[in-house]
Every structure is written in structure tokens, then in C-alpha cells.
Amino acid sequence: MIYNNKVFRFVMGLIMFLLVMACILPFILLIASSFTSEVALTKYGYSFIPTEFSLSAYEYIWSVKDNIIRAYGMSFFVTGVGTLASVTMTLLFAYPLSRHDLPGRRVLSFFLFFTMLFNGGFVPTYMVYSRIFHLTDKVWALIIPYLLMNAFFVIMVRTYINSNIPTEVIEAAMIDGSREFNTLFHIIIPMSKPIIGTISLMTAIGYWNNWTNGVYFIQTRRELYGIQNYLNSVLSNIAFLQTHSNPNIRITELPSISIRMAIAVIALLPILFAYPFFQKTFVKGITIGSVKG
């Protein structure tokens, strides 16, 4: 903070400026290219300034909008249901663990903690979900595997309850005859709002950005794809844009070079617009994770 050396301060400011540019410019490249005509792109490639302004990529995307709207709908559904279920399960698991008088508390804590140290890895997990529970091509495959409960978040919530809610408050409620579920809903949850906000945001971002579950478990029912999986398929196979709708447009007419960028922009904008509103909580979620639970 003090560093008074002018040269040093200038160099540091310059580094920061360059890094900020490095974080912004790639998005400008995407956006500018998506507004450039196909002809100009073939000639000059993706560039930061649209050499020849054109909306053809967006016009084309408008013609297959049903696909994109459905993919967005799936993403919102999976994120909403997943986050709600996940946060509920996390709270339900964390509150009893925070109770020092709970018989078997140490065993249950270890049961939870051990999952952070050791795991079976991809193959057995895949086998459990696809061969034993038959989740392949079901919407639950996007919600349940890997993402539904994170041991780390449970520990974060438990620690928060232990260090911010005095045992006396819980005991007083019990003496007044409050049942455990009442205590959880009327005392613990209202008093844990900050941590609930943080883990909800982190969980929601996790669901929104997840595409691996779709790759692993959605094999034929592509209509279940969320926006990430949809994008993923378009990047490797531009013709994917057309599947499920508009079979009349021929693949040769696709402005494929600009479309790739336009579709990335469409997937990108909502989260970029929302980001400033949750930025503070996001930073809190990141830094809280570094502090031992």
C-alpha cells in the first residue's frame, strides 16, 4: 500500500491496465466479429473492428431461435431446481452437524469430510448413475450427479452457524418448546442469510456453467441440452444449430464463421449483465473458500 517509488507504481499500474485489457478485449473480438459480414470475415478473419457491418448472423440465429430459447429454458430450469434442492439439502445437513450435543456427530462429520479426500472418480460414478440408476437421457442427470451437495459448502454453513449463532439462542428456543424444524426455519435460516446467499450464488453459477453432465449423460435426447451443451455442440458441429427445427434452410447457406461468434455472444451477455449485481457476493464466495472451514 505504501510503496512510494514512482517507477514501481507506474509499472504496476501499467501491468494492471494490460491485464484488464486482456480480460476485456477477447469479448470485444467476439462481439465485433459477430456483427461482421461473412465475406469480410473470410477475407480478414475475426477482428476487433467490424470491417463490414452485418446482422446476417443474428438474422440466421433468429430463424432457429426456438432451439436457443429452449436451451435457455433448460438452463434456467436446471439452475433453479438444482440450486433450490442443493441449498435445502446443504442447510438440512449442516444444522444438525453444528449441534454439539448430537449423538454420532463426529462419525457423521467424518462421513461428510472423507468425501473431500477420496473419491471413486469418473468411471464408477458414471456407472452408478447410468447403469444402476438409469439417469441417461433424463433431466435429473443434469441436476443430481456431482452438483447436488458439496461437502465444502456444508462445512462452510456449519462453521457459520457455530460461530455466529450462540448455542443459548437454540437452547432457549428448545425450552420454549420449539421443534427442531421450527428452530431451523425460524431461527437458523434467518440468522444465516449471508452465508446462504453466498452458497446459493456459487451453486447457481456451478449449475449454470456445467456442461459435463450433459456430455456424460445426455446421449440421444439433445432437446434436454442447456445453453452450455448447445454451444458446445455448435462449436464442434455448426450443423447442430439446425437440428430440431427449420430443416428447409440448407447447410451451405449458413454464415458459419460469424454465427459461431454470434451464438457465443448470445450465451455470454446474460451472465455479463448480471455479473455487476452479484459481484460482491461472488468475491465473498471466493475468499471465504480460502479460509479454513
Partner 1 sequence: MKAKNKKNKMSFQKFKRYIPLYIMMLPGFIYLLINNYMPMAGLTLAFKKVNYQIGLFKSPWSGLDNFKYLFLTNDAFIFFRNTILYNLAFILLGNIVGILVAISLDTIRNKFFKRFSQIVILIPYLLSTVIISYIVFAFLSGNNGFINKSILPIFGIEPISWYNQAKYWPVIITIVYLWMTFGYSSILYYSTLIGIDKSYYEAATVDGAGTWAQIRHITLPSLKPTIITLVLLAIGRICYSDFGLFYQVPMNSGLLYSTTQTIDTYIYRGLLELNDIGRSTAGGFLQSILGFTCVLTANYVVSKIDKESSLF
Stretch that binds partner 1, among 57-65, 109-117, 165-173, 245-253 (CB under 8 A): 109-117
- Closer by beta carbon to partner 1, 64 or else 231: 231
b/e burial code for range 236-257 (CB count within 10 A of at least 16 → b): eebebbbeeeeeeeeeeebbbb
- Closer by beta carbon to partner 1, 64 or else 147: 147
Q: Does residue 46 interact with partner 1 by CB under 8 A?
A: yes
Q: Does residue 23 interact with partner 1 by CB under 8 A?
A: yes
> 3-state class of 244 per DSSP?
coil
The CA distance from 278 to 208, in Å, is: 14
Output the smallest distance, CB 79 to partner 1, in A.
12
The residue from 80, 120, 166, 194 that contacts partner 1 (CB under 8 A) is 120
The CA distance from 212 to 189, in Å, is: 32
The residue from 52, 53, 73, 102 that contacts partner 1 (CB under 8 A) is 102
Residue 241: name the closest of 56, 65, 72, 41 by CA: 65
To which residue does cell 480478414 refer? 44
To which residue does cell 510503496 refer? 3
Q: Does residue 243 interact with partner 1 by CB under 8 A?
A: no
The residue from 51, 125, 162, 281 that contacts partner 1 (CB under 8 A) is 125
Q: Does residue 79 interact with partner 1 by CB under 8 A?
A: no
Q: Does residue 71 interact with partner 1 by CB under 8 A?
A: no
Q: Does residue 193 interact with partner 1 by CB under 8 A?
A: no
Q: Does residue 208 interact with partner 1 by CB under 8 A?
A: yes
> Which residue type is seen at 284?
K
DSSP conformation class of 187: I
Number of residues that bind partner 1 (CB under 8 A): 99
- Closer by beta carbon to partner 1, 49 or else 247: 49
DSSP conformation class of 280: H
* Contact indicator for 137, 217 with CB cutoff of 8 Å: yes
Of residues 134-153, which lie at the interface with partner 1 (CB under 8 A)? 144-146, 148-149, 151
C-alpha cell at 103: 449423538
Stretch that binds partner 1, among 51-59, 66-74, 108-116, 161-169 (CB under 8 A): 108-116
Stretch that binds partner 1, among 21-29, 52-60, 190-198, 241-249 (CB under 8 A): 21-29
C-alpha cell at 279: 459481484
Q: Does residue 69 interact with partner 1 by CB under 8 A?
A: no
**What phi, psi does 114 have (nearest 5°)?**
-60, -30
Q: Bridge-partner residues for 36, per DSSP?
A: 53
Residue 266: name the closest of 231, 237, 220, 239 by CA: 231
The CA distance from 67 to 69, in Å, is: 6
The CA distance from 226 to 67, in Å, is: 10
Output the smallest distance, CB 12 to partner 1, in A.
4
Of residues 159-188, which lie at the interface with partner 1 (CB under 8 A)? 179-181, 184
C-alpha cell at 49: 473492428
- In this structure, the chain runs to a length of 293
Stretch that binds partner 1, among 39-47, 50-58, 66-74, 240-248 (CB under 8 A): 39-47
Output the smallest distance, CB 244 to partner 1, in A.
19
